Amino acid sequence: MHSRRLKQMAFEDLTEFELRLLKWISASDFVEVAWSTKRAADAFKVEEKEVYEALASLTSKVRDNIHIYYDEGAIRITADDSPEA
């Protein structure tokens, strides 16, 4: 129960953009289709720097809910937008 509350608090600390980005990644397939920061920035109408900052923040705030790795020459990302993950 304590762990679940901590995860809920971490989700409450996310900015609106961080939460939107996490939900978008969770609903998308960035394992089969390589991640593109430029496409993400275009989709959210923000600068690429904002996407990089949000990704870095997500790996800190909700590290159990996002996995970023490098495979076959590209960045791959999986995410779960549920606080219970």
Q: What is the pLDDT of residues 15-50, one digit of tens each?
A: 999 999 999 999 999 999 999 999 999 999 999 999
What element of type H or E holds 51?
A: helix 48-61
pLDDT exceeds 80 at position 67? yes
Please give the structure tokens belonging to residue 61: 């705030």
* pLDDT value at residue 1: 47
pLDDT exceeds 90 at position 4? no
- Class for domain 2-79, per CATH? mainly alpha
Please give the structure tokens belonging to residue 42: 């275009």
Parse the chain into domains and list their residue ranges: 2-79
Q: Which pLDDT band holds residue 11 (cuts at 50, 70, 90)?
A: confident
E strand map for the chain = 66-71, 74-79
pLDDT exceeds 60 at position 75? yes
Would you say the C-alpha torsion 24, 26, 27, 31 has a positive or negative sign?
A: positive
- CB of 83 within 8 A of CB of 8? yes
* pLDDT value at residue 10: 73
